[in-house]
A and B are shown apart, each in its own frame.
Chain A
Amino acid sequence: MAPVATPFFFYLFAAIMLIGGILVITQKNAVHSALALIVLLLAQASIYLMLYAPFVAGAQIILYAGGIMVLFLFVIMLVSIERSMKERQFNSQWLVGIVAATALGGLFIAVYLKGKNIFPDHVLPVVENDNTQKVATLLYGQYMFAFEIASLLLLVAIIGAVVMAKKRI
């Protein structure tokens, strides 16, 4: 049985995400931006749930909302933002940026219109309970090497962050 109100929830979360995204890039105060981003991330986790990807949704909540965003808030607290709030918010190439983004959007629209029919219309039946197992099998099987590299990347990131942020080592 398909979930009861998929369209309703899809449009709800999509609206939340779009509004959140607009707020992220327009707010003066970086903390408000971060809050909008958190709301966006949580809405996106819900969309993952609708796509029957519960493990990714959980990882999104734990890592993104609970980890990365805390880091962001932490840093925003450390750097005083009062001054940057009084300054001009957008840089001088904002017009160029918007034109470039619009062009990119046009490209997206063109591609989607053209390739609309290549996506199969049927919805695959989903055995909800084995999602985590499937992810785990792939992660520790086929993508084992990538997994190790990812962990190495994290190690490098930790060391890099410490080197950058610490005053005296």
Chain B
Amino acid sequence: MGAIIQYVQSYLDPNVKVTPGAAGNLFWALVYIMLVFGGLSVAVIAMNWLERKILAHMQVRLGPMRVGPHGLLQPIADAIKLLLKEDIMPAEADGLVFWMAPLIVVLAAFTVFVVVPFGPTHAITDMNIGILFMLGVSSLSVLGIVMAGWASNSHYPLIGALRSSAQMVSYEVAMGLAVVSAILMTSLNAEGTGTLSMIGIVQAQLAQHEWFIFKFFPLGLVAFFIFAVAMVAETNRAPFDLAEAESELTAGFHTEYSGFRWSLFFLAEYSAMIAVSSIAVTLWLGGWLRPFPNLLNGTPWDQIFSLFPGVTFLFFAAICFYNTVRMPKHPLFRIQTIGLAGFGVVLGLIGLILFVPPVSVRIQDIFWFSSKVAGFMYLYIWYRGTFPRYRFDQLMQMGWKVLLPMGLGVLILTASVALLQQKIWHP
């Protein structure tokens, strides 16, 4: 107990830089696992609500409005419904494989968060091969998808599984090339040694005073673009959602799944989205670094930027209060109005807590990282609202004939430019 208090004290003291997730510190690794996975579940729930709302507003409709004020409790209602639903297994299915498939997908999607760096000290662990681990483990979810499709013993899931495995395997290649060109950039220091560690990659960007998306313009940008396309394909989302193309294959590999097992697939899909966005943020968008760390530096700017987390939550609270005022004054809406106001109060309180200096300093990294990831999440929703779906052969063509040569070209160019820079410009 004393250790905990001591730890919390050291945590709140900005001068002490503890690394709670360091290897060997099993207790704090466990605490961080709880925190990250709790946060992840909340993020998935919020994402569910936000996707439905944002998509609805893009499509001139309201989205969920019934359960809770502005449908805020809808994801919880959905979760309860899914958990209470009868769990159906087709009679001809292969029981063991059918049972294991969603577990593998969920495990693969969740395990990658072990190395996601929410801040220099906010990570479960820092692995020497962090990015390799992330790519490797996230590629394991293909196995689950293939198993789900095969175990259902039905044509639509089988085609869906074949499609999605072929898609994920092909796009992994382009993705890997883009990642390699970013890792190459980490080696542009005096010693000439790069790193695969997720924290190391962000620190390399800090040391080079440049996010890798702007490095060797436009090479970093092109690599980022390749990754950004490949990551959408990798997570089977629109416009690459062929594996679960509703109009063609009903629901693809999870056609035969229902209830809890289906919700596991759902959970895995959203956490995989967050995971690949985290990779993109870490590799190209400076991870936990705040915007313009070089241009707007100095203590006053630091202080201004440290206000951002609190202000954001206060802004959300203000939106809640505004909508509370706009609620119909009918007695039927009384509970909803109170609920919305209460939600606003909670958000406002969180915002106020975030203004307390020790907290606000500590929360900076997490805030910037999460808001960058949130930007990607919005992009995902936007794509879904805008694009039609690619056809399978076009998708393959894009992966192998467009993104792969582009990735190779970017890799070679980045290497040449880096070599030139080291040998000629700064000998």
In the complex, chain B residues whose CB is within 8 Å of the CB of A117: none
Contact A61 B137, beta carbon cutoff 8 Å: yes
* A61 pairs with B140, CB closer than 8 A: yes
Q: Is B169 in contact with A35, judged by CB distance below 8 angstroms? A: no
8 A Cβ contacts from A26-64 to B = 29, 31-32, 35, 38, 54-55, 57-59, 61-62
Q: Which of B94, B133, B139, B196 is A29 in contact with, Cβ under 8 Å?
A: B94
Q: How many residues of A contact B (CB 8 A)?
A: 28
Taking a contact as CB atoms under 8 Å apart, the answer to whether A62 and B132 are in contact is yes
Cβ of A132: which chain B residues have Cβ within 8 Å of it?
A: 128-129, 196
Choose among A29, A55, A61, A129 the residue with the greatest number of B CB atoms under 10 Å from its CB.
Answer: A61
Contact A65–B143 (Cβ < 8 Å):
yes
Let me know if B140 and A65 touch, CB within 8 A: yes
Known: A62-B139, A73-B143, A73-B147. A128 touches B128 (CB 8 A): yes
A133 within 8 A of B: yes
Structural contact, B133 and A70, CB atoms closer than 8 A? no
**Residue of B129, B132, B143 with most chain A CB atoms under a 10 A cut-off:** B129
Query: Is A70 within 8 A of B96, CB to CB?
Result: no
Contact A35 B100 (CB under 8 A): yes
Complex: A57 Cα to B196 Cα, angstroms: 14
Bound state CA distance, A62 and B94, in angstroms?
Answer: 26
When the two chains form their complex, are residues B128 and A66 in contact, meaning their CB atoms are under 8 A apart?
A: no
- Which of A71-87 touch B at CB < 8 Å? 73-74, 76-77
Please indicate the chain B residues that have their CB under 8 angstroms from the CB of A161 in the complex: none
User: Which secondary structure dominates where chain A touches chain B?
Assistant: helix
From 9 to 38 in chain B, residues with beta carbon under 8 angstroms from any chain A beta carbon are 24, 26
Q: Within residues 159 to 201 of chain B, which ones have a CB less than 8 A from any CB in chain A?
A: 161-162, 165-166, 169, 172, 193, 196
A76 to B135, CA, bound (A): 25
CB distance from A85 to the nearest CB of B (A): 11
Q: What residues on B are CB-neighbors of A31 within 8 Å?
A: 94, 97, 147, 150-151
Shortest distance in angstroms between A157's beta carbon and chain B's nearest beta carbon?
Answer: 15
A77 to B172, CA, bound (A): 21
Number of A-B contacts (CB under 8 A): 76
Question: What separation, in Å, do the CA atoms of A131 and B146 have in the docked complex?
Answer: 33
Task: Pick the residue among A32, A55, A73, A77 that contacts B132 (CB under 8 A).
Answer: A55
Residue B136 at the A interface, CB < 8 A? yes
A165 lies within 8 A of chain B by Cβ: no
> Is B381 positioned at the interface, with any CB of A under 8 Å from its CB?
no
> B128 and A73: CB pair below 8 A?
no
B251 contacts chain A at the CB level, 8 A cutoff: no
Count residues on chain B whose CB falls below 8 Å from chain A CBs: 32
B147/A35 in contact, CB under 8 A:
yes
**B150 contact set on A, CB distance < 8 A:** 31, 73, 76-77
Name the one of B26, B127, B140 contacting A54, with C-beta atoms under 8 angstroms: B127
Please report the C-alpha to C-alpha distance between residue A38 and residue B129 in the assembled complex, in whole angstroms: 21
> Does chain B have a CB within 8 A of A1?
yes
Given A1-B24, A35-B97, A70 and B128 contact (CB-CB distance below 8 Å): no
Residue of B nearest to A129 (CB): B128
CB-nearest residue of chain A relative to B141?
A: A66
Q: A131 to B96, alpha carbons, bound, how many Å?
A: 38
In the complex, A159 has a CB within 8 A of chain B: no
Q: Which residues of A contact B172 (CB under 8 A)?
A: 66
A133 touches B193 (CB 8 A): yes
Question: Given A57, A67, A77, which contacts B146 in the complex, CB threshold below 8 Å?
Answer: A77
Q: Is residue A14 within 8 Å, beta carbon to beta carbon, of the partner chain?
A: no
Q: Which residues of B contact A29 (CB under 8 A)?
A: 94
Q: Give the residues from 56 to 108 in chain B that come closer than 8 angstroms, CB to CB, to chain A.
A: 94, 96-97, 100
Question: B142 at the A/B interface (Cβ < 8 Å)?
Answer: yes
Chain A residues, Cβ within 8 Å of B128: 54, 128-129, 131-132
* Smallest CB separation, B305 vs chain A (Å): 31
Cβ-closest 6 pairs across A and B: A66-B139, A58-B132, A61-B136, A62-B136, A58-B129, A54-B129
Question: Can you identify 10 A-B contacts, CB atoms within 8 angstroms?
Answer: A29-B94, A31-B97, A38-B143, A58-B136, A59-B132, A65-B140, A67-B139, A73-B147, A77-B149, A131-B128
